[in-house]
């Protein structure tokens, strides 16, 4: 990987890039204001499931692309977990070669239309942008531009399929079809492997389908990316639970040479407080799965969902934001976010917090539920909250919330969604007694190759991290694909 810098330099010195750089003075570029993503009206959108962000217009994208200085040392790339050649794709946009921009994205990112929508760019590429670091100005809108190029390609109906090496006939299994599994399968297919993805649910996409709501990431966008993987030769097997329907050993006997486990962190955490099992207290996973995967909000579908007049969502991450904004869309008169720290410590993307506020979500920070009460039928009707204050920073570096004794008070609620995080799904680890696990139930892997304690088993995403982001899971998937490639090549060579 040491020649990456060399490669980037070479790419940057190509005549078309040189020419573009010279076409506008740096001062002119830096004087352009950052583009503003067009959005659906807050009041209107809080009653529908259509996308909130409407996407940049062509004109906006071109203007924004002019801001990028095409730096000799593109620090933005180091902020990207999958190492997208950011200046190159932006300069392709400036050159009005949008299809070319999409090709650049897909060199290292199997799901650019997804990442352009859900990545926390403000703490990744945009945080290390020259504008942020040196000029103290708003960063280039890298995420918005990524989405623009990916959407342009998708809407053109002429999607490029990445080049695939000659099929080598070697079977590799990918377990779980979320972002980690999809990224791994894309790269493995590029290397020429015979890739089969096993998915426990009836839909491909994992958290992209069951978790992230339609108004933030339309299913259609995900489906197009999956279709692209199919075109690359990746096979998908739904309703197949590894460790249950068949074991890893069964698949070894069927000739699979290596495995990537990207089974996610699908075990919701609860607070274990009294009344948490009352009716209409949901985990965020259940609430969002019913609505996103099972379409419970659509009367045409059979899956039921309970609606609330006053909905409280517990947590401060992206899933909490997704849940509370969904509750609002489901007709809640009051949708309240309850978070035990202050807004500054919230792990959610800034954009989600902003959107939530615009949509009328109430923020009850520095509060924590301690108990729920229910009516005669067992449905939650009251939540007891405790006020909190912030103490010294804890292991996460954020200030620790401390309960204020005697500050408890009740509020009436008829729907609660607990979104305080997830633990790794135990199904696969349970079926592999030799697999080395951490005390948190995550799979222990080599950080470079993503290889586990079992040589033919690689893992990545939340089953390794215990709860992270789409893009970090994708980065793991790509690393693991490279790790698997190396492992199999060495195995073949030694035969």
Which residues contribute to the site for another protein (CB under 8 A)?
A: 200-202, 210, 238-241, 244-247, 250, 266-268, 270, 272, 276-280, 282-283, 285-286, 289-290, 294-295, 300-306, 377-379, 425-427
- Strand order across the beta sheet in which 235-237 lies: 235-237, 194-198, 171-175, 256-261, 457-459
H/E element holding 267?
strand 267-268
CB of 273 to another protein, least distance (A): 10
- CA 410 → CA 79, 115, 306, 372, 455, distances in Å? 44, 40, 22, 9, 54
Residue 167 or 202 with smaller CB distance to another protein:
202
Residue 132 near residue 106, CB atoms below 8 Å: no
Spatial neighbors of 289 by CB under 8 A, at least 6 apart, are 210, 211
H/E element holding 284?
helix 284-288
CB of 128 to another protein, least distance (A): 34
Residue 11 or 276 with smaller CB distance to another protein:
276
Residue 231 or 379 with smaller CB distance to another protein:
379
What is the distance between the terminal CA atoms of the chain, rounded to a whole angstrom?
27
- Strand order across the beta sheet in which 334-339 lies: 281-283, 415-418, 310-314, 334-339, 362-365
Residue 215 or 287 with smaller CB distance to another protein:
287
CB of 306 to another protein, least distance (A): 7
Residue bearing tokens 């990524």:
146
State how far the Cα of 229 lies from the Cα of 235, in Å rounded to an integer. 8
Residue 173 or 200 with smaller CB distance to another protein:
200
What single-letter DSSP state applies at residue 239? Answer: S
CB of 134 to another protein, least distance (A): 44
Among the listed residues 155, 286, 282, the one whose alpha carbon sits nearest the alpha carbon of residue 211: 286
Residue 85 near residue 93, CB atoms below 8 Å: no
CB of 458 to another protein, least distance (A): 21
Residue 376 or 434 with smaller CB distance to another protein:
376
Residue 102 or 288 with smaller CB distance to another protein:
288
* DSSP string for 296-350: TTSTTS-------SEEEEE-SSHHHHHHHHHHHHTT-SEEEEEESS-GGG--S-H
Residue 292 or 318 with smaller CB distance to another protein:
292
CB of 266 to another protein, least distance (A): 4
CB of 452 to another protein, least distance (A): 20
- The token pair that represents 181 in the structure block: 């599994």
Residue 3 or 377 with smaller CB distance to another protein:
377
Percent of the chain as helix, strand, coil, to the nearest 5: 40, 20, 40
CB of 244 to another protein, least distance (A): 6
Residue 74 or 206 with smaller CB distance to another protein:
206
CB of 413 to another protein, least distance (A): 16
CB of 396 to another protein, least distance (A): 24
**Region for 190 from its dihedrals, namely left if φ exceeds 0, alpha if ψ lies in -120 to 50, beta otherwise:** alpha
The phi and psi torsions of 4 (rounded to 5 degrees) equal -65, -45
CB of 241 to another protein, least distance (A): 6
State the Cα torsion 106-111-113-118 to the nearest 10°.
Answer: -130
CB of 180 to another protein, least distance (A): 16
Residue 169 or 299 with smaller CB distance to another protein:
299
Residue 330 near residue 307, CB atoms below 8 Å: yes
Residue 9 or 244 with smaller CB distance to another protein:
244
CB of 227 to another protein, least distance (A): 18
The phi and psi torsions of 414 (rounded to 5 degrees) equal -130, 10
State how far the Cα of 309 lies from the Cα of 305, in Å rounded to an integer. 13
Residue 202 near residue 238, CB atoms below 8 Å: yes
State the Cα torsion 145-147-150-153 to the nearest 10°.
Answer: -80
Residue 2 or 300 with smaller CB distance to another protein:
300
């Amino acid at each position: 990987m040491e020649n990456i810098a060399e490669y980037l330099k070479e790419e940057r010195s190509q005549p078309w890039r040189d020419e573009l750089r010279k076409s506008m003075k740096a001062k002119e570029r830096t004087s352009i204001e950052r583009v503003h993503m067009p959005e659906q009206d807050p009041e209107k959108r809080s009653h529908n499931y259509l996308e909130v962000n409407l996407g940049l217009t062509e004109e906006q994208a071109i203007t924004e692309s002019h801001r990028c200085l095409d730096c000799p040392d593109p620090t933005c790339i180091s902020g990207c977990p999958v190492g997208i050649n950011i200046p190159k794709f932006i300069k392709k946009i400036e050159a009005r070669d949008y299809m070319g921009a999409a090709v650049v994205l897909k060199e290292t990112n199997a799901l650019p239309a997804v990442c352009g929508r859900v990545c926390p760019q403000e703490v990744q590429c945009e945080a290390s942008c020259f504008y942020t670091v040196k000029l103290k100005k708003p960063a280039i809108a890298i995420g918005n531009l990524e989405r623009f190029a990916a959407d342009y390609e998708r809407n053109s109906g002429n999607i490029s399929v990445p080049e695939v090496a000659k099929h080598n006939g070697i079977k590799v299994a990918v377990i779980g079809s979320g972002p980690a599994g999809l990224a791994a399968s894309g790269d493995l297919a590029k290397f020429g492997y015979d890739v089969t993805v096993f998915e426990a649910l009836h839909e491909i996409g994992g958290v992209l389908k069951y978790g992230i709501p339609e108004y933030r990431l339309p299913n259609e966008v995900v489906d197009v990316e999956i279709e692209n993987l199919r075109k690359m030769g990746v096979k998908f097997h739904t309703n197949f639970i590894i460790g249950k329907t068949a074991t890893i050993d069964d698949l070894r006997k069927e000739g699979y040479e290596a495995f990537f486990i990207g089974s996610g962190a699908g075990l919701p955490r609860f607070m274990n407080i009294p009344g948490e099992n009352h009716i209409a207290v949901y985990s965020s996973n259940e609430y969002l799965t019913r609505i996103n995967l099972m379409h419970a909000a659509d009367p045409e579908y059979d899956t039921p969902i309970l609606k609330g007049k006053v909905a409280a969502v517990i947590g401060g991450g992206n899933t909490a934001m997704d849940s509370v904004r969904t509750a609002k869309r489901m007709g809640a008169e009051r949708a309240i976010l309850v978070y035990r720290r202050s807004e500054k410590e919230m792990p959610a993307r800034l954009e989600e917090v902003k959107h939530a506020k615009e949509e009328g979500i109430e923020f009850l920070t520095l509060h924590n539920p301690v108990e729920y009460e229910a009516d005669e039928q067992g449905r939650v009707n009251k939540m007891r909250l405790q006020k909190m204050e912030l103490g010294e920073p804890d292991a996460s570096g954020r200030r620790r919330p401390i309960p204020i004794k005697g500050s408890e008070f009740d509020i009436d609620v008829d729907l609660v969604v607990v979104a305080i995080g997830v633990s790794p799904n135990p199904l696969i680890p349970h079926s592999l007694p030799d697999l080395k696990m951490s005390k948190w139930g995550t799979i222990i892997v080599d950080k470079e190759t993503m290889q586990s304690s079992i040589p033919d088993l690689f893992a990545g995403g939340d089953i390794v991290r215990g709860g992270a982001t789409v893009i970090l899971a994708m980065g793991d998937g790509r690393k693991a694909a490279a790790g698997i490639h190396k492992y199999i090549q060495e195995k073949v060579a030694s035969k």
